[in-house]
Amino acid sequence: MPRLEEVANVVLRVPSIVLLDLLYRWDVQAFAELLRPKQEEALWRRRALWHGYYLGHVLCVVVLLLPVRSLVRLYLYGLTLLLLFVGHQTARDYMRLEMEGEFQGAVYQDPVVLSRFVTALTGQIFVSTLCALLMKTKQVWLFCAPLLPLLARLCGLPLQALPVVNTFATSVTVVEVLYVAASHLLVPFHLAAAACREVAQGLEMYRLVALAMSLWSQLAVPVLFLVFWLVLFTLQIYSFLASSNSLLAQQGLLFIFLSSVAECCGTPYSLLGLTFTVSYLALAVLNLCKFYLLGYDAFQNGNVMHRGVTEGVTLLLLALQTGLLDLQILQRTFLLSIILFIVVTSTLQSMIEIADPIVLALGASQNRSPWKHFRSLSLCLFLLVFPCFMAYKIARFFHMDFWLLILVSSCMLTSLQVMGTLFVYALFMIELLQDAPLEKTDEIIYYVNAVSRVLEFLVAVCVVAYGTWESVFGEWSWMGASVIIIHSYFNVWLRAQSGWKSFLLRREAAKKINSLPRATRGQLRDHNDVCAICFQEMNVAVITDCGHFFHTGCLRKWLYVQDTCPMCHQPVKPSATEGPQPDGGERAEPEPIPEEQPPENADAEAAGRARTPGPSRTAEEQENPALAEPSRAGLLPEAVPSEGGKPMDPAGSRTPQPVSQGCTQ
């Protein structure tokens, strides 16, 4: 029953949106011009027409906002009224046929008259019984008024008396309907009062936004507009195909599809329906991408940004900014094709964001499953080729200008990002086949990603520059200005700030690493411990001012995030003595710390702290989870167990995203 109630909550509200859409499409001004006021009666009709037009909008909105149970009851009353109308129409048709036949005898004397009577009587009994079932009453006689003309004919009344009997039956039904309407006259006021009380209680308990979200969930707005638009689109496709069989051969399937979509977004209601439809389609594509890469494990942890919301909002903003609703059907079709091109590009970008960490984690792990590698590589190849194909098609279809060049460039950046992902994946696979890790792998990965980010930043700057130029020297609007401001902040300013901060952190970390003294072989032999970051043996290490030993690459990645020692959390400062010490020489002594002198067994205590963090470190790890598990935050490589049980050496500078659990299934 709950599932049936959810279906009814959506299906029963769709007719209200359909009526609102039809009222918006209806040119009431042109219809009112036909009733030019040559006399007072025509002027009154025009006023009544406009009042009925606005009243229709109000009634549709009220029906749309009704609770489910009240909505079901309203539909039951409406269906009963429709059945009574059908019953009276059937009785009227029977009476007309009897009067045309002019047979004055009993109904059982003529087989044709008897057959017609039995058919009409069966239909009237069925209608009366169905009305009683809908109203949940056993008093079937309340709905038997359409049977009166048939009973009069059965009793042998003359044919001239049948119209009088039929008029009396219609009057009885009208009186019953008026009585029911009068008895429920205060129901709308009771519903309005109950709604006001619920809104007041909701505002007391929650805020206005929470109340709006609750109403959004109760009305199931996304699914409601999705069903409405799909019904509209299905009818439009059917009308296109039924109108002319040669239209498909002349224009092609793609043009028919785009024209149907353009016809179904000519009103604000249908545009909202298209927005939610695109969102659900993008969500389905992204979920299919996750399922193809990871199987059923992909649905355990979902990303909020990968729910199709971005694609739907993008379509809605572009449609409002470009004035899609005000264009003719042909212009709307071409503009909609460009908007859908941008939406598909955004969906491909989301697919790359899903596939990139999975592919990199698969390359960094020692997973030997060919099927997993094939799925990841095949999806990457699709994301590499399909954007190029889209850019080629749209470049052939439209005249190339600066705005279209920006769109094509953003589409080509998608392929460039995939090439960077495949390049890093190849580095990981080559490194797995070698005994020792590659030199400066982390630096190579950083520069590959930096090239992609810089190109994305340049495209974003071009979009802002072109949009500003159009706003200043072209047509200016608040919608366009707001879109430019939002785009400038999120895609230009935040990207530039993040990139510059990352560059400064890396430069400072490299400066500190180069200034720290290198441990000699004797010091490593006396230390006799593993790196406290990656827990691997140390053949080459650096020594911090506080006397702790770390791998160079591990400490560099740590310093990319924060400038404190991973063990004691003291600031890591550049040492006065720079460069590596000669083999067998002595390392530079760290500056003494006045607050606390290191004990004689500092190395042993350092090893103990490497395995058992102190209370201060535990407290800081609770505040910042990246300190406890830096590999999960993408700061350090994660030790992924191999199939043979031997842990992988993550001492090399790899930075895959933390999705290896889905790749090792």
- Where does the pLDDT of residue 360 fall: very low under 50, low under 70, confident under 90, or very high at 90 and above? confident
CA 269 to chain centre: 18
DSSP per residue, 68-119: HHHHHHHHHHHHHHHHHHHHHHHHHHHHHHHHHHT--S-GGGSHHHHHHHHH
pLDDT at 85 over 90: yes
Cβ count within 10 A of residue 337: 18
Q: Quote the CA–CA distance of 224 and 6 in Å, as a whole number.
A: 11
Q: What residue type is assigned to position 650 of the chain?
A: P
Q: What residue type is assigned to position 358 of the chain?
A: I
The conformation of residue 376, written as its DSSP 8-state character, comes to H
Annotated active-site residue in 131, 264, 380, 531: 531
pLDDT at 12 over 80: yes
Tokens 């039956």 map to which residue?
169
Q: Quote the CA–CA distance of 608 and 460 in Å, as a whole number.
A: 50
The tokens describing 443, both together, are 């630096």
Q: How far apart are the first and last CA of the chain?
A: 38
DSSP lists the bridge partners of residue 641 as 647
Count how many Cα atoms sit within 13 Å of the Cα of residue 598 in the half-sphere of its side chain: 17
* pLDDT score recorded for residue 38: 54
Q: Quote the CA–CA distance of 273 and 262 in Å, as a whole number.
A: 12
CB 620 within 8 A of CB 578: no
Long-range contacts of range 176-181, CB-CB < 8 Å, 24 or more positions apart? Answer: 176/142, 176/145, 177/81, 177/84, 180/77
pLDDT at 661 over 50: no
Cβ count within 10 A of residue 554: 27
Give every CB contact of residue 52 below 8 A, 6+ residues apart in sequence.
Answer: none
Tokens 């909701």 map to which residue?
202
* pLDDT score recorded for residue 587: 41
pLDDT at 624 over 80: no
Q: Quote the CA–CA distance of 208 and 203 in Å, as a whole number.
A: 6
Long-range contacts of range 369-377, CB-CB < 8 Å, 24 or more positions apart? Answer: 372/663, 375/292, 375/293, 376/293, 376/425, 377/422
pLDDT at 305 over 80: no
Nearest CA to 274 among 314, 332, 306, 230? 230
The tokens describing 279, both together, are 């969102």
pLDDT digits (tens, 9 = 90+) for 540-556: 888 888 888 888 888 88
Average pLDDT over residues 398-418: 79
Q: Quote the CA–CA distance of 21 and 271 in Å, as a whole number.
A: 10
Nearest CA to 150 among 84, 105, 86, 98? 98
* pLDDT score recorded for residue 505: 78
Coil, helix or strand at residue 634: coil
Give every CB contact of residue 568 below 8 A, 6+ residues apart in sequence.
Answer: 546, 548, 609
Residue ranges of the domains in the chain? 2-183
Q: Quote the CA–CA distance of 169 and 127 in Å, as a whole number.
A: 15
The conformation of residue 505, written as its DSSP 8-state character, comes to H
* C-alpha dist (Å) from residue 536 to 225, 522, 523, 531, 652: 57, 18, 17, 6, 10
pLDDT at 413 over 60: yes
Average pLDDT over residues 186-204: 82
Maximum mean pLDDT: which of 312-316, 431-435, 487-491:
312-316
Q: What is the pTM of this model?
A: 0.71
Nearest CA to 333 among 400, 265, 389? 265
Of 47-61, 370-384, 401-415, 515-529, the least confident: 401-415
The pLDDT mean for the chain works out to: 78
Is 531 an active-site residue?
yes
pLDDT at 268 over 90: yes
Q: Quote the CA–CA distance of 175 and 167 in Å, as a whole number.
A: 12
pLDDT digits (tens, 9 = 90+) for 311-349: 899 899 889 888 888 888 888 988 998 899 989 998 998
Find the angle CA(96)-CA(102)-CA(106) to the nearest 5 degrees. 100
- Provide the phi-psi class of 440: left if phi over 0, else alpha when psi is between -120 and 50, else beta: left
pLDDT at 192 over 80: yes
The tokens describing 561, both together, are 């995030």
Q: Cα dihedral angle (464, 467, 469, 475), rounded to 10 degrees?
A: -160
CB 387 within 8 A of CB 345: yes
Count how many Cα atoms sit within 13 Å of the Cα of residue 267 in the half-sphere of its side chain: 19
CB 660 within 8 A of CB 361: yes
Average pLDDT over residues 451-468: 80
* pLDDT score recorded for residue 35: 63
Q: For the chain, percent helix, then strand, then coil, each to nearest 5?
A: 75, 0, 25
CA 102, 107, 111, 116 torsion: positive or negative?
A: positive
Q: Could you give the maximum distance between any two Cα atoms of the chain, in Å? A: 132
The conformation of residue 440, written as its DSSP 8-state character, comes to T
Angle between helices 370-397 and 402-433 (to 10 degrees): 160
Give every CB contact of residue 169 below 8 A, 6+ residues apart in sequence.
Answer: 88, 91, 145, 146, 147, 148, 149
Average pLDDT over residues 77-82: 93
pLDDT at 131 over 60: yes
- Where does the pLDDT of residue 78 fall: very low under 50, low under 70, confident under 90, or very high at 90 and above? very high
Find the angle CA(319)-CA(323)-CA(328) to the nearest 5 degrees. 105
Q: Quote the CA–CA distance of 254 and 271 in Å, as a whole number.
A: 20
Q: Quote the CA–CA distance of 138 and 131 in Å, as a whole number.
A: 10
- Where does the pLDDT of residue 658 fall: very low under 50, low under 70, confident under 90, or very high at 90 and above? very low
Nearest CA to 444 among 658, 657, 654, 659? 654
The conformation of residue 156, written as its DSSP 8-state character, comes to T
* pLDDT score recorded for residue 153: 85
The tokens describing 329, both together, are 């059907």
* C-alpha dist (Å) from residue 280 to 165, 273, 286, 312: 57, 11, 10, 8
CB 315 within 8 A of CB 338: no
The tokens describing 137, both together, are 């009453």
Maximum mean pLDDT: which of 29-38, 56-65, 655-664:
56-65
pLDDT at 251 over 80: no
The tokens describing 455, both together, are 């190109």
Q: Quote the CA–CA distance of 278 and 273 in Å, as a whole number.
A: 9
Tokens 């500056």 map to which residue?
591
- Where does the pLDDT of residue 610 fall: very low under 50, low under 70, confident under 90, or very high at 90 and above? very low
pLDDT digits (tens, 9 = 90+) for 93-120: 988 888 887 777 777 888 888 888 899 9
Q: Quote the CA–CA distance of 264 and 236 in Å, as a whole number.
A: 8
* pLDDT score recorded for residue 42: 65
Q: Quote the CA–CA distance of 595 and 598 in Å, as a whole number.
A: 10
